């Protein structure tokens, strides 16, 4: 508002001087031009109020001097030259004052911009020529700033969107501010650096307008948000990790509850059977005072079967506890796998007297294994085969040495088979292959068996059998020097 008042005062002064000179020097326009031109020039450049007051006082004084010279008979033209020379010096004062003010403003602006923590660049409109850029802008770009003459020069510093696609020249925030006056706030961008890395920045730009509202320049501010992005990524990672840990914990709790339920049921079944046989035997003795030999033998056989089953369940629980606690210790010795297989089949026959078990194949070498643990593995596989195969179908155990350094024991049933997509899942703890407990078991046998085989340096896997059914294969390493075994062909049951 003050500048507008000063400007109109100078215009009014120029008008008054022109009118007065027209009366003082009729017919001559040189004095009017000499007096009025500096005043209008001052009104355009608008120096400081002190300079404006000086110009006004100087002009009035010169008017008085010119009038006195005219009254003393001096010719007007030399006087006009003298006065004009004086006024030109006043005009130079106006221009130098403006230049001084502009230089001071630019120095202060550069000092402020250089001290800002963000990268700043100011360009002209509409060309895009660089007016000012601070050192932070150079550091963010990773290159020394070369003043751009046009927006096309900005290709030296490509800018990418968060998805990696490059900006077009007209799509740059600075260009949008100049072309359409758009104000861009915290637009996330990426800038590739010479070392191949990319730095994440928040770009903000705005147009700079003159007094008439015309866009004369634009400013771009780039703020490094790499730490913020890393913090966000770390927060998301921790959140995902926490959610995953919570999911695992919930799954573990559910598995534990399910395991407790299954274990209680599985342990209760043989205990109930043992108790039932004991009660029946006691009642018979109380009624007759003696025991029937045949019925006693049957009761003892059932008791033996259920006690074996209970022993297997307890062994599984103990093995699981030792595996998870890292306390399961192997005591390997060179053994004939045929004898191990026969022992496991005898145990299976005791548990399942109505089923047929076949032993086939040949094996030339003994294998260093823990006999007790390996028999536990084979018993688990045989029991699993009995559960998931028809009652009138045989269970086949085969021995083979496909390579000099590997021995194989395979247990094959003639059941429905295990779908390919769950053949790895069945080795997980508590996994029920058929989604129900119709076959019994705690879902631990295969898991424990694989862990024991792995401790021997071998592998246990499941595959489909030719003609139907499932085949579980135990592969065990054989030392380079081992005693020779014999071929075997046996049938048990």
- CA angle, 18 as apex, 15 and 90 as ends, to 5°? 90
Contact 442, 262 (CB under 8 A): yes
Instruction: Report pLDDT for 59.
Output: 62
Contact 3, 46 (CB under 8 A): yes
Taking only the tens place, the pLDDT of each residue in 107-158 is 777 777 777 778 888 888 888 888 888 878 777 766 555 566 677 777 677 8
Fold of 116-224: Beta-Lactamase (3.30.450)
Contact 388, 433 (CB under 8 A): yes
d(Cα 409, Cα 426) in Å, to the nearest integer?
Answer: 19
CATH class assigned to 230-324: mainly alpha
What number of other Cβ atoms are within 10 A of residue 492's Cβ? 15
Helices 371-387/293-324 angle, 10° precision:
110
Scanning the structure block, which residue is given the tokens 């003050």? 2
d(Cα 206, Cα 173) in Å, to the nearest integer?
Answer: 8
Instruction: Report pLDDT for 70.
Output: 57
- Dihedral sign for Cα 315, 320, 325, 331, please: positive
The whole-angstrom distance between residue 35's C-alpha and the CA centroid of its chain comes to 75
Q: Do 116-224 and 230-324 agree at the fold level?
A: no
- Dihedral sign for Cα 68, 72, 76, 78, please: negative
Instruction: Report pLDDT for 487.
Output: 38
pLDDT in tens, the chain (493 residues): 555 665 566 556 655 665 565 555 554 444 555 555 555 555 555 555 665 566 666 666 666 666 666 555 544 444 454 455 455 555 555 556 666 776 677 777 777 777 777 888 888 888 888 888 887 877 776 655 556 667 777 767 788 888 888 888 888 888 899 888 999 998 999 888 777 778 889 999 999 998 888 898 999 898 888 888 888 889 999 999 999 989 888 877 776 676 666 666 566 666 776 777 777 777 777 777 777 777 777 777 777 767 777 776 677 677 767 766 777 788 889 988 898 899 889 888 887 888 999 999 877 778 999 888 898 899 889 988 998 889 899 999 999 998 888 999 999 999 888 888 899 988 887 776 555 444 556 677 888 889 889 999 999 999 988 888 899 999 999 886 444 443 333 333 3
The CATH number assigned to the domain with range 333-492 reads: 3.30.565.10
And the tokens for 177? 């501010």
Task: Name the region of 289 (left: φ>0; alpha: ψ -120 to 50; beta: rest).
Answer: left
d(Cα 286, Cα 199) in Å, to the nearest integer?
Answer: 91
Instruction: Report pLDDT for 396.
Output: 94
Domain boundaries, the chain: 2-114, 116-224, 230-324, 333-492
Among 395, 393, 380, 490, smallest CA distance to 441 is for 380
Instruction: Report pLDDT for 329.
Output: 82
Taking only the tens place, the pLDDT of each residue in 389-433 is 898 999 999 999 988 889 999 999 998 888 888 999 888 877 765
Instruction: Report pLDDT for 95.
Output: 57
């Amino acid at each position: 508002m003050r500048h507008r008042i000063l400007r109109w005062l100078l215009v009014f002064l120029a008008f008054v001087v022109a009118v007065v000179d027209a009366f003082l020097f009729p017919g001559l326009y040189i004095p009017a031009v000499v007096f009025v031109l500096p005043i209008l020039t001052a009104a355009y450049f608008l120096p400081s109020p002190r300079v404006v007051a000086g110009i006004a006082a100087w002009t009035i004084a010169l008017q008085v001097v010119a009038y006195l010279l005219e009254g003393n008979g001096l010719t007007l033209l030399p006087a006009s030259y003298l006065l004009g020379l004086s006024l030109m010096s006043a005009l130079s004062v106006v221009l130098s004052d403006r230049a001084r003010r502009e230089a001071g403003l630019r120095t202060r602006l550069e000092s402020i911009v250089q001290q800002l923590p963000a990268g700043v660049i100011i360009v002209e409109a509409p060309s895009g020529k660089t007016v000012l850029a601070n050192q932070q802008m150079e550091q963010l770009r990773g290159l020394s700033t070369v003043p751009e003459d046009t927006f096309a020069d900005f290709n030296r510093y490509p800018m990418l969107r968060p998805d990696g696609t490059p900006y077009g020249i007209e799509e740059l925030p600075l260009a949008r501010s100049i072309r359409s006056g758009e104000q861009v706030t915290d637009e996330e961008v990426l800038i590739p650096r010479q070392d191949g890395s990319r730095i994440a920045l928040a770009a903000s730009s705005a147009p700079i307008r003159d007094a008439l509202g015309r866009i004369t320049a634009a400013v771009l501010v780039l703020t490094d948000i790499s730490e913020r992005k890393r913090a966000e990524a770390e927060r998301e990672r921790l959140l995902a990790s926490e959610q995953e840990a919570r999911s695992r914990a919930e799954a573990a709790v559910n598995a534990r509850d399910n395991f407790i339920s299954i274990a209680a049921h599985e342990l209760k079944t043989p205990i109930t059977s043992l108790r039932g046989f004991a009660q029946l035997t006691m009642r018979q003795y109380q009624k007759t005072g003696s025991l029937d030999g045949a019925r006693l033998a049957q009761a003892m056989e059932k008791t033996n079967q259920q006690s074996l089953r209970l022993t297997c369940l307890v062994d599984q629980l103990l093995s699981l506890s030792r595996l998870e606690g890292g306390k399961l210790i192997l005591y390997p010795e060179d053994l004939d796998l045929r004898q191990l297989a026969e022992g496991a089949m005898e145990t299976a026959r005791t548990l399942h007297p109505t089923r047929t078990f076949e032993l086939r194949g040949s094996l030339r070498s003994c294998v260093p294994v823990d006999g007790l643990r390996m028999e536990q593995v084979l018993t688990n596989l045989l029991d699993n085969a009995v559960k998931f195969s028809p009652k009138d179908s045989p269970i086949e155990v085969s021995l083979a040495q496909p390579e000099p350094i590997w021995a194989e024991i395979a247990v094959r049933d003639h059941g429905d088979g295990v779908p390919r997509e769950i053949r790895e899942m069945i080795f997980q703890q508590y996994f029920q292959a058929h989604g129900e407990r119709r076959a019994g078991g705690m879902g631990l046998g295969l898991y424990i068996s694989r862990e024991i085989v792995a401790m021997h340096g071998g592998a246990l896997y499941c595959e489909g059998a030719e003609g139907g059914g499932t085949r579980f294969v135990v592969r065990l390493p054989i030392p380079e020097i081992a005693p020779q075994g014999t071929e075997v062909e046996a049938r048990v049951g």
